[in-house]
Amino acid sequence: MSAINCDLCVIGAGSGGLSVAAGAAQMGADTVLIERGAMGGDCLNSGCVPSKSLLAAAKAAESLRRAGRFGVNGHEPSIDFAQVHGHVRGVIDSIAPHDSQERFEGLGVRVIRAAARFTGPDAVEAGGITVRARRFVLATGSRPAVPPLPGLDALPFLTNETLFERTAAPEHLLVLGGGPIGVEMAQAHRRLGARVTMLVRSRLLPKDDPELVEVLRRRLSAEGVAILEGAAAAQAERAGNGVAVLLEDGRRIEGSDLLVATGRAPNLEDLGLDAAGIAVTKKGVKVDARLRTTNRHVFAVGDVTGGPAFTHVAGQHASVVIKNALFRLPAKVDYAALPWVTYAEPELAQVGLTEAAARERHGDGVRALTAPFAGNDRARTEAETEGLVKLVVTKRGRLLGAGIAGPHAGEQIALWCLAVAKRMGVGDVANLTLPYPTLAEAGKRAAGSFYTPTLFGPRTRGLVRFLGWFG
């Protein structure tokens, strides 16, 4: 068995591990990166990239269907699912070089393609090589959490790890779970010609603001996605060539295929965490705000920590770990201005606190300010007037959070990421001069509504009349 000594050893070459390894190597740290599967991890191979590529194809199909509202002949598109799959594959292939072993070796990283396992508090074994490092970073990600539903393990169900390999559309897709994977994949498959039924235990997108979710629920239903909320699955079984899910209320829902999208489980197994003295909780590796595990030589980043499971969170984690591990700065994670986007149409974007979370934390003084896209001229020109901007502010107008359901919400939220992160007030946005006509004006309108009662109230009218006497 050969041995390597290095400054930093990163386990897992997904969003988190790659960011740590690239940053550390470019800053001069002698870095080893260990990956047991495909370089790029979930986001590139079975997550963000394929899901957004599939959604883009689905959007193209839907815009043909809906073109009639512009007087442009809309028609039912003919969909070649194998070519759609080719598009998805092509996007992955076009991004893959950026995450590749070759690129990382070019940056000076030693890459080992094997499963890693701690053999002690300061040593890892992978592919017959013992790696000793001053610091380790655990970035092993997560996998689909499959619920213990009786009958499920005897069925050939789909997860995000298998869904994007399909070259034919399912005839009738049952989607178990109403989180972002469920919602995005339900709409994508419906638009690409499948029948889709969502089985949602509680409500759709439970982490999002219900008023904003309602916009998306209406659109999904209008497009023909059957959404069964409050539908707890009790059992799964075969039904001819397909599948059936029995609900607790006695209903039996049949489909050709079943997608399980019921959350994530951290990849902790076979890592020898006990040998390294690394404690875990039910959610993932136990870390403090500086992402230190219970072994002072080992940090953890990304999904394996059991925190918010997003690529941009893994990115923030990477930067916190680099500051701590390489520069000994006490940097901490900060989710106060954490954004997330569900990339269905209309998009749903949120940063900071939702109204419910803000009321829980700040009490009844919190105000919600809204502006619908129905009143926005750009939305009218685009014939995309569904949705709204919703700001959540303190009594004095400081922004606590912002949510958008509407066209390009994921792009529009960037302004609010800055405003919430910098603890700005509504006045900072209400006083901006924005280009006309833009969707962003809806946000400005929501911000401006904070002042409406005082600006157009009797006191202002009295003041204007009084000052008029001196003119």
Ligand X SMILES: Cc1cc2nc3c(=O)[nH]c(=O)nc-3n(C[C@H](O)[C@H](O)[C@H](O)COP(=O)(O)OP(=O)(O)OC[C@H]3O[C@@H](n4cnc5c(N)ncnc54)[C@H](O)[C@@H]3O)c2cc1C
Question: Please, which residue, 48 or 67, has the CB nearer to ligand X?
Answer: 48
178 is an interface residue for ligand NAD by CB under 6 A? yes
Least Cβ distance, residue 50 to ligand NAD (angstroms): 11
Residue 225, interface with ligand NAD (CB under 6 A)?
Answer: no
Q: Is 104 in the site for ligand NAD (CB under 6 A)?
A: no
DSSP result, 99-161: GSHHHHHHTT-EEEES-EEEEETTEEEETTEEEEEEEEEE---EEE-----TTGGGS--B-HH
- Using CB under 6 A, pick the residue from 5, 26, 202, 221 that binds ligand NAD: 202
Q: Is 293 in the site for ligand X (CB under 6 A)?
A: no
Minimum separation from the CB atom of position 401 to ligand X (A): 18
Q: For residues 82-105, b (16+ Cβ closer than 10 Å) or e, as one string? A: eebbeebeebbeebbeebeeebbe
In 240-320, beta strands by DSSP E: 242-247, 252-255, 257-260, 264-266, 298-300
Give the count of residues interacting with ligand X (CB under 6 A).
36
Instruction: Tell which one of 176, 322, 337, 429 touches ligand NAD (CB under 6 A).
Output: 176
| CA 260 – CA 338 distance, rounded (Å) | 26
How far is the C-alpha of 303 from the C-alpha of 309, rounded, in Å? 5
According to the binding rule CB under 6 A, does residue 115 interact with ligand X? yes
Interaction between residue 314 and ligand X (CB under 6 A): yes
Pick what 295 binds: ligand X, ligand NAD, none; C-beta below 5 to 8 Å, kind-dependent.
none
Structure tokens at 144: 């689909």
Residue 232 CB neighbour total at 10 angstroms: 12
- Tokens in use for 372? 């619908």
164 forms part of the interface with ligand NAD (CB under 6 A): no
Residue 46 in contact with ligand NAD, rule: CB under 6 A:
no
Asked if 442 and 376 touch (Cβ cutoff 8 Å), the reply is yes
Chain residues 251-280 in contact with ligand NAD, contact rule CB under 6 A: 261-264
CA 466 to chain centre: 54
Q: In what order do the strands lie in the sheet with 233-239?
A: 233-239, 242-247, 252-255
* Residues between 360 and 399 with contacts to ligand X, criterion CB under 6 A: none
Which residue in the shown chain puts its C-beta closest to ligand NAD? 179
- Contact status: 343 vs ligand NAD (CB under 6 A): yes
Least CB distance to ligand NAD at residue 215 (A): 16
User: Distance between CA atoms of 202 and 230, rounded to whole angstroms?
Assistant: 5
> Site for ligand NAD (CB under 6 A): which residue of 110, 135, 189, 201?
201
Find out whether 256 and 241 touch, Cβ atoms under 8 Å.
Answer: yes
The residue range among 245-253, 307-315, 328-336, 456-464 that interacts with ligand X, by the rule CB under 6 A, is 307-315
Name the residue nearer to ligand NAD (CB basis): 324 or 354.
354
Phi first, then psi, for residue 112 (nearest 5°) are -115, 125
CA distance 370 to 404: 10
**Under the criterion CB under 6 A, does residue 182 sit at the interface with ligand NAD?**
yes
Backbone conformation region of residue 193, classed left if phi is above 0, alpha if psi is from -120 to 50, else beta: left
Chosen residue from 23, 178, 302, 401 binding ligand X by CB under 6 A: 302
As measured in angstroms, the least distance from the Cβ of 470 to ligand X is 58
Residues forming a β-bridge with 110: 32
Q: Are strands 242-247 and 233-239 parallel, antiparallel or unpaired?
A: antiparallel
Closest distance to ligand NAD from the beta carbon of 308 (Å): 6
Contacts with ligand NAD by CB under 6 A: the residue count is 25
Residue 285 near ligand X by CB under 6 A: no
Residues in the chain: 471
Minimum distance, C-beta of residue 269 to ligand X, in the bound complex (Å): 8
| DSSP-derived 3-state class of residue 351 | strand
Tokens for 335, please give them.
């989710």
Residues 8-37 that bind ligand X (CB under 6 A): 11-17, 34-37
Q: Output 141 or 443, the one with its CB closest to ligand X.
A: 141
> Is residue 321 involved in binding ligand NAD (CB under 6 A)?
no
The yes or no reply on residue 203 touching ligand X (CB under 6 A) is: no
User: Which residues contact ligand X (rule: CB under 6 A)?
Assistant: 11-17, 34-37, 41-43, 47-48, 51-52, 115-116, 139-141, 160, 181, 267, 271, 302-304, 309-312, 314, 343
Q: Contact residues for ligand NAD (CB under 6 A)?
A: 147, 176-182, 184, 200-202, 206, 233, 261-264, 308-310, 340-343
